[in-house]
Structure 1
Amino acid sequence: MSRTYSFTVPYSAPVTLLHRAYTDPEAWRARFAEAKSANYDLDHPDGEGSIRIHMSERVGGDAVPRVVRSVLGREFTLERTDTWNRLDGERATGSFTAATTGVRGELAGDYLLRPTAEGAVLEISGEAEFDVPMVGGALERMVEQLHQRVVQNEREFFATWLAEHPEG
C-alpha cells in the first residue's frame, strides 16, 4: 500500500531568485555546513541552471520515534536525491526520491516552483510506500510529516540565504 500527498510552501521571493538559490552549489554547501552526520554530492546533469543533490545522513538515538526504531533499529541511514531542472519561463520543476536502510520503502515525487502575487510557491506532490507489515502506514505518514519539516527548514534557510546573497 502507498500514500500520496501534496502540500505547498509559500515564498516572498520571485521564482528566478529562488531557482538561482536552489541550483547554487554554494548555497547547498552552506546548508550542510552544520550537519555533522550528513554527506552530499552535487552535480549539474543538464548544465548550468540545473542541479542534482544527493544527500545521505545517519539518523539515530532519540531523534527516531519508537515505532520506527522497532523496525529500523536505533540507527539508520536516510538517502535523498533532489533534482532541479533549468528555469522554464517563470516556472521551475524538479523531482525527489528518498529511501532508508533497513526497510524496503521509498519516497518519490515532483516539485513545481511557480510565481504568485506575493512571490512564489513551491508545490510538492509525492508518494510514500513502505513494505513493512503492521507499521508501513505509520511509516508512510511519518515520512510525509518529516518531508514537510525538511522543506520548511529549507524554506527558512533559502530565505536567509537570499537576504545575505542578493546578487547570487
Structure 2
Amino acid sequence: MATKLHHSIDFPCPPAQFAAAVADEQYWKDLVANVAADLSDLDSFTDEGDKVTVVLRQRVPEKNLPSMVTKIRPGDLEITRTVVWSKGEAAEGAFTAVVSGAPAKVKGSQRLIATSTGCEISFDGSVEVSIPFVGGKVEKAIAENVVQLIEAEHEYTTEWINTH
C-alpha cells in the first residue's frame, strides 16, 4: 500500500512570476547548480509550447541512506525525476521519481494557487515501494526526503525569483 504525500509551500510572488520561473530553462540549470550540485544533473528541458517537461537525474550516496535501504539495495541510488508544468498563472502539472534498480516510485500532481500574499504550490502524490515487510518503512523515509527536497528547492527558488 502506497504512502500518501501532501505538502504545500508559499511564495511571496504573484503566480505569473512563479510560472515564468519554472518555464525558464535557465532556472532549472541554476537550480541543479546550486541545490546539491555535485549530486544533480539536468538531463533535459523540453518546451512544448503550453507546457515544459524537465528531467533531472539525482544521486543519493549510500552513506546518506537509511540502513534498511542499504541492506536491501547496497550502493548509491540514482533517481530519475520528471517534472511537468503547464504554463500560465493557473499552472499545474505532475511529478514522478523512479529509483534505478529498485522497486520504488514517487508520483503525483502539483498545482499553483493564487493567495493573498503571493502564491502556493500544492503537492499531492504517493510513494510506493514494492518490498514485502519493509516497504512501508522505506516509503515513509522516501516521503520525508521528498519533503526535504521540496523545501530546499523552495528556498533556492525564492532567491532565484527575487533576483531575476
For the criterion TM > 0.5, the same-fold answer is yes
Residues 80 and 98, structure 1, Cα contact 8 Å, conserved in 2 = yes
Question: How do residues 11-160 of structure 1 correspond to structure 2 at under 5 angstroms?
Answer: 11-34=11-34, 35-40=37-42, 41-44=44-47, 46-47=48-49, 50-87=51-88, 90-160=89-159
Q: Superposition RMSD on alpha carbons, in Å?
A: 1.3
CA distance, structure 2, for counterparts of residue 82 and residue 152 of structure 1: 16
SS at 2:18 equivalent: helix
Residues 22 and 85, structure 2, Cα contact 8 Å, conserved in 1 = yes
Amino-acid identity (%): 23
SS at 1:54 equivalent: strand
SS at 1:103 equivalent: coil
CA distance, structure 2, for counterparts of residue 139 and residue 66 of structure 1: 10
- The alpha-carbon deviation at position 37 of structure 1 amounts to 3.2
Q: Runs of 5+ in structure 2 lacking a partner?
A: none
Residues 62 and 77, structure 2, Cα contact 8 Å, conserved in 1 = no
Taking structure 2 as the reference length, the TM-score comes to 0.92
Taking structure 1 as the reference length, the TM-score comes to 0.90
SS at 1:13 equivalent: coil
What one-letter code is carried by the residue in structure 2 that aligns with 1:5? L
What one-letter code is carried by the residue in structure 2 that aligns with 1:135? V
CA distance, structure 2, for counterparts of residue 61 and residue 99 of structure 1: 17
- The alpha-carbon deviation at position 58 of structure 1 amounts to 2.3
Moved more, 67-76 or 128-137: 67-76
Aligned residues: 161
Residue in structure 2 matched with residue 4 of structure 1 by the alignment: 4
